Amino acid sequence: MIHLLRVPIIRREEPAPGHVELWLQSPELATSTPGQFADVVTEGMLRRPISFSRIDRANHQVAMLLQVVGDGTRWLAAQRPGTMLDVMGPLGNGFLPPAPARDWCLVGGGVGIPPLYAAVQAWGTHTASRPTVILGARDQQLLLLVDEFQALGCVVEITTDNGTRGRRGTVEAPLCDWLDSHPDGQVYACGPTPMLASVARLTQGRTGIFLALEQRMGCGIGACLACVIPGYGVSGQAGYLRVCTDGPVFRSEELIFE
Ligand SMILES: Cc1cc2nc3c(=O)[nH]c(=O)nc-3n(C[C@H](O)[C@H](O)[C@H](O)COP(=O)(O)OP(=O)(O)OC[C@H]3O[C@@H](n4cnc5c(N)ncnc54)[C@H](O)[C@@H]3O)c2cc1C
Ligand code: FES
């Protein structure tokens, strides 16, 4: 169920340069599934889609980890505990849990990393083995939640474009290695579209591959078509999918990368 809410910020942290994590107190948002998002009103009444980095059902809290890229995220990042935010959510479809008997790997880039952390928090102990997490960034300063994934028992592999931490290059090389050694493994990915296209190509023919898109959005509720992408609908015909309501999490085979 989608709610229009006014929710208080109860905590604010700065986990990396240019990044802020805001904790919100909200029983409604705390019912979210990892991969779902909320549309938050920012300066000038513009709504911005942000996913949840943490979902704490027991304490009715969620967190959002923001990267400041423009006016909306700058305004949000400047808000302090005690401020009330206008939020619509939870929105969209989240990830499905991994099959308990299968190994799983999470591949994240940039602000695609936070919803994957929420997924490991929710399901990391439900599977036979702890997941492998492959994190990619342009530079080591942009890596998020590395210590937090390790604290949850994940094997963490890091790549940076400039080689400042981990392997130099993209997430492709460690993902290929993992896929070779886990022929029945599942993959959950979130990040820039070229990264998701690589994951889709490398995992072709496998089942249980989930890709979360971070398309630019308008209304967030399926009405404006600002977020459409090519894909296969329920009929199996090629057409367009709305990232806000059909996604943002899709099965890999639903998407067409051009
Ligand atoms: C489902 C979903 C979940 C998201 N989760 C998070 C999250 O957890 N944390 C987070 O920091 N951000 C997240 N984003 C991205 C966030 O919505 C954008 O960064 C934000 O809308 C930018 O608003 P702005 O006003 O600050 O910048 P704008 O002024 O709107 O844009 C500044 C720059 O960022 C680019 N940009 C804006 N939106 C996007 C986008 N979606 N993808 C790529 N480039 C973009 C613009 O092209 C422009 O160059 C998510 C987006 C979606 C759709
Ligand atoms: S953002 Fe309006 S239809 Fe998706």
Query: In the prediction, which pLDDT does 31 show?
Result: 97
Question: What pLDDT sits at residue 235?
Answer: 82
Q: Do 234 and 191 fall into the same domain? A: no
**For the chain, what is the domain count?**
3
Q: Are residues 129 and 230 in the same domain?
A: no
**210 CB under 6 A from ligand 1?**
no
| DSSP codes of every residue in the chain | --EEEEEEEEEEEEEETTEEEEEEE-TTGGGPPTT-EEEEE-GGG-EEEEE-SEEETTTTEEEEEEE--SHHHHHHHT--TT-EEEEEEEESB-PPPPPTTS-EEEEEEGGGHHHHHHHHHHHTTTSSSPPEEEEEESSGGG--SHHHHHHTT-EEEEEETTSSSSEES-THHHHHHHHHH-TT-EEEEES-HHHHHHHHHHTTT-SSEEEE-----SSSSSSS-TTEEEEE-TTS-EEEEETTTT-BEEEGGGB---
State the CATH number of the domain containing residue 61.
Answer: 2.40.30.10
Is the Cβ atom of 95 under 6 angstroms away from ligand 1? no
CATH for 102: 3.40.50.80
| 126 and 72 fall within a common domain | no
Ligand 1 atom index nearest CA of 73: 26
Measured from the Cβ of residue 96, the count of other Cβ atoms closer than 10 Å reads: 17
User: pTM for this structure?
Assistant: 0.96
CATH number for the domain spanning 250: value is 2.10.240
Q: Can you give the pLDDT at residue 119?
A: 97
Say how many Å lie between the CA of residue 99 and the centre of ligand 1: 31
pLDDT in tens, the chain (258 residues): 889 999 999 999 999 889 999 999 999 999 999 999 999 999 887 899 999 999 999 999 999 999 999 999 999 999 999 999 999 999 999 999 999 999 999 999 999 999 999 999 999 888 888 899 999 999 998 899 999 999 999 999 999 999 999 999 999 999 999 999 999 999 999 999 999 999 999 999 999 999 999 999 999 999 999 999 999 977 889 999 999 999 999 999 999 997
Is residue 102 located within the same domain as residue 203?
yes
Domain closes at, from 91, 124, 155? 91
Q: Residue 116: give the domain boundaries.
A: 95-214
Among residues 91, 121, 153, the one where a domain terminates is 91
